[in-house]
A and B are shown apart, each in its own frame.
Chain A
Amino acid sequence: MRITNRHLIGWLGASPLMLILLAFLVAPIVMIVIVSFWGATEFSIYPDFQFDNYAFLFGSPVTYKVFFATFKYAVITWALTLAIGFTVAYFLAFHVRSQSVQIALFLLCTIPFWTSNIIRMISWIPFLGRNGIANQTLISWGVIDQPLEWLLYSDFSVILAFVHLYTLFMVVPIFNTMMRIDKSLIEAAYDNGATGLQTLWHVIIPLTKPGIMIGTIFVVTLVMGDFITVRFMSGSQKANVGRLISNDIALLQYPSAAATAVVLLCTVLLVIAILLRFVNIRKEL
């Protein structure tokens, strides 16, 4: 009797979350899977059960190129955000001594997360453009004679924007795990004669792994699922899977968009499943 009671109270509390996720997460995924087997004419879609969308997707060399580009963005962005995020979190956690300064600096790092991504992308334009600050500065220093063309609307600007937008997702979980490291472990390492680097490598990094994993999950999924950063920062000249989907949507080719979306979702979930083997998220919060 008590057991049913416990389950009932759990369900009551969780039911609003459950209902919202069923309606706006599970149902849309199911719908996308269904529509991925539908057919399309130029201006409408019709129910069907055919594999044409998948056949076309896997038969096109563009697909493989675009998936490769998506992985490339994810890996490069991951490496950069990890290096920067770890360093920033390390500084905050181990070198800032006053707790109020620590909180203030941490907030400074997180505030941009609560502002508009679109605006943050737009704000790179005066910096990177042909006559932008970067080019003007480099020319005035005599480093280059001609403005660099690859600063804006290139892989460079896409990755720069990704790093700008998402480093935060590394800083926060890594900082969180670092703050929970027992400081006596680090003192013990020093007392036993370890150098700073040895302590970092053999004590701090292993203990920070869960935070690194959570940050990795965030950054990798955000980059792999993105379409707007790539579109905006590359001036529509570069493609990733998200853009493939959004282009199909713009052409009202929903079944084809849905098939690509299914493949993207499977890829992302596979990556996450692998990453989750290394970390228990609920324990780390």
Chain B
Amino acid sequence: MEKRPRSFYVLAAFFGLFLLFLYGPTLTIAILSFQGPQGGLTFPMNGVSLHWFYDLFEEQAVGDIWGAFRRSFALGLIVMVVTVVVSVMAGLAFRKRFAGSGVLFYLAITSLVIPSILISLGVGLIFNQLGFRVHWSTSGLGSQLTWTLPFGLLIMFAVFNRFDKSYEEAARDQGATAWQTIRHVILPIIAPSLIGVALFGFTLSYDEFARTLLTSGSYNTLPLEIFGMTTNVTTPVIYALGTLTTLFSFGIIAVFILTVWVLGKRRARFGSDAGKGV
């Protein structure tokens, strides 16, 4: 193997520092969440305990975080399913130019770049003026979709830009209907990317803050609850919560990545099952 240039080591060191910068603070609060009962928000550690994790389970200490977690989880799942379905449908539609496709594309880009607080404010105003109550499962859901759908759509564009159309044409030549082609040829081929879209849908919703702020109503989602805590909780219990929810996110991400990996392995071993359906 060719010898590595000196620039490699400089850049590798830079990359290492970047990773430290990315993960260092999170590791710090993970360590600090094991503070002893008398410990404060910074080092030194005042003993080591699980005190602050126990604290999380006592409702009166920190408000309704478990309810908030359940709502965020449910909302994340709903957003995930809607994002996948709507992105795939739109991605398929966008492969051919149709009247208005340009406008719709720029709407999606606008949805991505618009300051989140505008969505929050606008949706909140509409619901108020129409006399509807804002609720996380209605106004909150819609507001979050304006954030997750553009990502889903962009991923679908990337997928279909690389899609080999000859599979599809082969299916059509063999007499498959449009729906059969989608169901037995296109969807199996793009399945791993759909898991990616699902990952975006769930995690972006689960952590969304600004667009949910004025649209979730009286029942907070988890990020809103955590933000509320930052103003009135001055103990490491907030680190314990941060550590738990970050671990939860890592778990979710790991599940998604493993699924993609396993799919890839299976595909390498058995070949794609695209076209094997009847």
Contact = CB atoms under 8 A, between A and B. Distances in A.
Contacts of A242: 115, 117
A95 B11 CA distance: 8
Nearest to A35: B125
The residue in A17, A112, A136, A281 that gathers the most chain B C-beta atoms within 10 A of its C-beta is: A17
A186 to B, nearest CB: 13
B25 A88 contact: no
A6 interface: yes
Contact of B214 (A133, A249, A269, A282): A249
The residue in B85, B101, B125, B204 that gathers the most chain A C-beta atoms within 10 A of its C-beta is: B125
Determine the main DSSP class of B at the interface with A: helix
Interface stretch (B59-67, B168-176, B245-253): B245-253
Interface stretch (A51-59, A117-125, A204-212): A117-125
The residue in B85, B108, B209, B227 that gathers the most chain A C-beta atoms within 10 A of its C-beta is: B227
Nearest to B1: A97
Contacts of B94: 10, 13-14
Contact of A16 (B18, B86, B146, B161): B86
A136 B44 CA distance: 10
Contact of A264 (B118, B199, B226): B118
B121 A32 contact: yes
Interface residues of A, number: 82
27 contacts: A13-B94, A14-B94, A14-B100, A14-B101, A25-B107, A26-B107, A29-B122, A31-B129, A84-B18, A92-B15, A115-B203, A116-B206, A122-B226, A125-B41, A126-B32, A126-B43, A127-B24, A127-B28, A129-B42, A131-B42, A133-B28, A227-B210, A261-B121, A265-B114, A268-B113, A272-B109, A285-B161
Interface of A: 6-7, 9-14, 16-18, 20-21, 23-29, 31-32, 35, 84, 87-88, 90-92, 95, 105, 107-109, 111-112, 114-120, 122-127, 129, 131-133, 136, 164, 167, 196, 217-218, 221, 224-228, 232, 242, 245-246, 249, 254, 257-258, 261, 264-265, 268-269, 272, 281-282, 285
Interface of B: 4-5, 7-8, 11-12, 14-15, 18-19, 21-26, 28-29, 32, 41-43, 85-87, 89-90, 92-94, 96-101, 104-105, 107-119, 121-123, 125-126, 129, 142-143, 145-146, 149, 153-154, 157-158, 161, 199-200, 203-204, 206-207, 209-210, 214, 223, 226-227, 230, 238-239, 242, 245-246, 249-250, 252-253, 257
